[in-house]
A = this chain, B = another copy of it.
Amino acid sequence: MTKTPAARRGRPRTFDRDAALRRAMNVFWQHGFDGASMTQLVDAMQINSPSIYAAFGSKEDLFREAVELYVASDGGSTMRALTNDGDVRDALRSMLAETILTFTRHDEPRGCLIVLGARHLGPVGDPVRAFLRDQRERIRILLAERLLKAKQKGELAPEADEKALATCVMTFLNGISIETVDGTSQPTLLAAAELFVDRLLPR
C-alpha cells in the first residue's frame, strides 16, 4: 500500500500545483471565500480556469485545500503554540503572541483566514460556513483540554472554570482578527494580550 509514482500517462501539467495552491490561499486569506473571484484566482495562480477546475475540482474544493494549507503553515502556529507542555500562562502568552505575529506579518492578508473566510455567509446550512465553524470548534476544544490539564497539574486554582476560561480566550482570539484587519499596531496588540493573560489567570 505504498504510494507508487503510478507512471502517469498523458500530457504532464506545466505549473507547480503547490505554488498555485499557495497563491490561491493568499487570495482567499485576503478576500474571503465569496470575495475572491475566479478572475482574481486565475490572475494570482497564473492558470486558466479550466486548469483550476481540472486540478482542484471547484472553487469550494480549492478553498478547502487552501484552508488545509493555511492550518498546516501560517495559521497553525496558533494551535501549535498551545501544545507546549510548560506553564499555562506561558503557553497562552506564546499562543497569543504567535497569533498576533502571524496576523500582522504582512500588510495583506491580515487576520485569520478561518475566522474571516466565510463572512457574508450563505444560508444557515451553508457547507463552507459549517466547515469553518468546525475548524474554530477544534481550537476551542483544544483550549479547554489544555486548561483542564493545567488545573489538574495545580497550575490553576481548583475552583477555576476552564470552560468559561476557554470561551473567554476564544473570544479574545476571535477579536484579534477584527483588530488586525482594522490596522491596530502589533505592539498595541501584544501589550493588550499580555495584560489579558496576566489578569485572567492571576498567579
Q: Which positions in A face B, CB cutoff 8 Å?
A: 31-36, 108, 115-116, 119-121, 124, 133, 136-137, 161, 163-165, 167-168, 170-179, 181-184, 188-189, 191-193, 195-196, 199-202
Contacts of A173 in B (CB 8 A): 175
| Contact B189–A167 (Cβ < 8 Å) | yes
A195 touches which one: B36, B124, B161, B193 (CB < 8 A)? B161
| Contact A192–B174 (Cβ < 8 Å) | no
Bound form: Cα–Cα A32–B32 in Å: 13
| Contact A183–B133 (Cβ < 8 Å) | yes
| Contact B164–A192 (Cβ < 8 Å) | yes
| Contact B168–A179 (Cβ < 8 Å) | no
A179 touches which one: B161, B167, B182 (CB < 8 A)? B167
A175 touches which one: B33, B133, B164, B171 (CB < 8 A)? B171
